[in-house]
Chains A and B, each alone.
Chain A
Amino acid sequence: MALPTRLLLEIVTPDRALVREEVDEIQLPGAEGYLGVLPGHTPLLATLKVGELWYRIGQERHHVAIVGGFVEVLPDRVTVLAHIAERAHEIDVARADAARKRAEERLARPSADLDFERARIALMKALIRLQVATRARTRV
């Protein structure tokens, strides 16, 4: 059997189907490090952490912010079940920046009842959103 040359990428969240496209290459924020996926990849099931996902169609890269989830990789198909996913241009930069400041403040001045893990995740979410948003603007 010939190796497939492209991948069908699907990104779905509980609220919507975000992406359904034929792509050439994908990078995913796996729980144990970033994963690069090309067509013909071995079947793989992985959990995702908060991070940045990009996929390439031809020479064009598209960036998506991902907050946790799962991915199923098959030789010709990749299915991402994300808890939250946002395309670069959908991200509200001002809001993400405000969230970053809030989270940083909470971590800088820990109060007694601070849920450290939650604050850390909040900060990470904000940072990833900001990072992905800048990608979108610098690309052009």
Chain B
Amino acid sequence: MPSLLDLRRRIRAVKSTQQITKAMKMIAASRLKRAQERVVAARPYARRMLQVLNSLAARVDPESHPLLRTGKAAGGPLLIVITADRGLCGSFNANVIKTAGQFIAGEGRAPETGLGLIGRKGRDFFRRRGFEVRFEQVGIFQRLTYGHAAAIANAAIDEFTSGRASTVHVVYNEFKSVMAQRIVLEQLLPIPRLEAAGGPAAEYLYEPAADEIFSDLLPRHVQAQVYRALLESNAAFFAAQMTAMDAATRNSSEMIDSLTLYMNKVRQAAITREIIEVVSGAAAT
């Protein structure tokens, strides 16, 4: 039987853990609010961009641009894995890594899948296991800007156009709601076939020429996609962390309750034993 002192010490330890998880939950909640606003604010741009691209696609030969062509590249596929820099967020990182692993296994044959790793957790995991890492970015989520997304997108575009990668996919957590994250695996390059916009086929004027605009727009589109993925992942991370820390706080409450109950029983037993000893000692004399 553990001593009273040990039990008290354990309860104290659980309590201080609970305070930490509670604080982390609160911090995650406030960061989540800001991250969520950014996701919502970024959506119109991505959506509009797609609309403009679609209306262009009807008028420009899609085979004309290298970012649209299925490459006859010598290299294997490239997978961009977006995880978080930190843990304590439930299965957030594990899910992404699992999906990435399945993708790599599915593409299993040579040439090998190259990886672009965003976020410390994914970087550490794949680095340690000796995967082929093409580029990596850690610690960008604290001050996430469009510049980060542009750098990542440009690195991916470079891999693709130079033929080192045959396709580029991205896997990340999408922010669905505070309670739910969804793992998304998207093809980034070649840019999936654009839906030629139906409706009035009004002839456009172009300034400068159409293909010039097109080759300006397409990289921008890829950057916007990456930016959105980063923002989604960031918001999803705080949501996951908040949920995980909430669960942890609740679990520690339960633990404190059961430990307190047990401690009281032990204390009661000790008192009873002492009384018996006193009484039987008195009876003996």
B147 to chain A, nearest CB (A): 10
Task: Tell which of B45, B212, B223 touches A13, judged by Cβ atoms closer than 8 Å.
Answer: B45
Known contacts A12-B45, A17-B41: A74-B207 contact under CB 8 Å: no
Task: Tell which of A16, A32, A70 touches B52, judged by Cβ atoms closer than 8 Å.
Answer: A70
- Does any Cβ of B come within 8 Å of A72's Cβ? yes
User: What is the interface residue range for chain A against chain B?
Assistant: 20 to 34
A residues 1-35 touching B (CB-CB < 8 Å): 10, 12-17, 30-32, 35
A127 to chain B, nearest CB (A): 22
- Does any Cβ of A come within 8 Å of B281's Cβ? no
Chain B residue contacts of A45, Cβ below 8 A = 52, 56, 204-207, 210, 213
B41, B44, B149: most-surrounded residue (chain A CB, <10 A): B44
Q: How far is the CA of A32 from the CA of B44 in the complex (A)?
A: 27
Task: Tell which of B38, B44, B146, B217 touches A70, judged by Cβ atoms closer than 8 Å.
Answer: B217
B143 to chain A, nearest CB (A): 13
Chain A residue contacts of B6, Cβ below 8 A = none
Whether A81 contacts B49 by the Cβ 8 Å rule is yes
Task: Tell which of A10, A13, A47 touches B216, judged by Cβ atoms closer than 8 Å.
Answer: A47
- Does any Cβ of B come within 8 Å of A91's Cβ? no
Whether B38 contacts A15 by the Cβ 8 Å rule is yes
Whether B55 contacts A15 by the Cβ 8 Å rule is no
A118 to chain B, nearest CB (A): 14
Known contacts A14-B146, A72-B55: A30-B207 contact under CB 8 Å: yes
Whether B48 contacts A81 by the Cβ 8 Å rule is yes
Q: How far is the CA of A91 from the CA of B217 in the complex (A)?
A: 27
- Does any Cβ of A come within 8 Å of B5's Cβ? no
B262 to chain A, nearest CB (A): 54
Whether B48 contacts A46 by the Cβ 8 Å rule is no
Task: Tell which of A15, A31, A35, A43 touches B42, judged by Cβ atoms closer than 8 Å.
Answer: A15
Main SS at interface, chain A = strand
A8 to chain B, nearest CB (A): 12
- Does any Cβ of B come within 8 Å of A108's Cβ? no
- Does any Cβ of B come within 8 Å of A44's Cβ? yes
Q: How far is the CA of A72 from the CA of B197 in the complex (A)?
A: 14
A residues 32-77 touching B (CB-CB < 8 Å): 32, 35, 42-47, 70, 72, 74
- Does any Cβ of A come within 8 Å of B224's Cβ? yes
Q: How far is the CA of A91 from the CA of B202 in the complex (A)?
A: 38
Whether B52 contacts A44 by the Cβ 8 Å rule is no
- Does any Cβ of B come within 8 Å of A131's Cβ? no
Task: Tell which of A10, A12, A32, A79 touches B208, judged by Cβ atoms closer than 8 Å.
Answer: A32
- Does any Cβ of A come within 8 Å of B238's Cβ? no
Chain B residue contacts of A16, Cβ below 8 A = 41-42
Can you list 11 contacts pairing A with B, beta carbon distance less than 8 Å? Answer: A15-B45, A31-B208, A44-B205, A45-B210, A45-B213, A74-B202, A81-B45, A81-B49, A81-B52, A81-B220, A83-B146
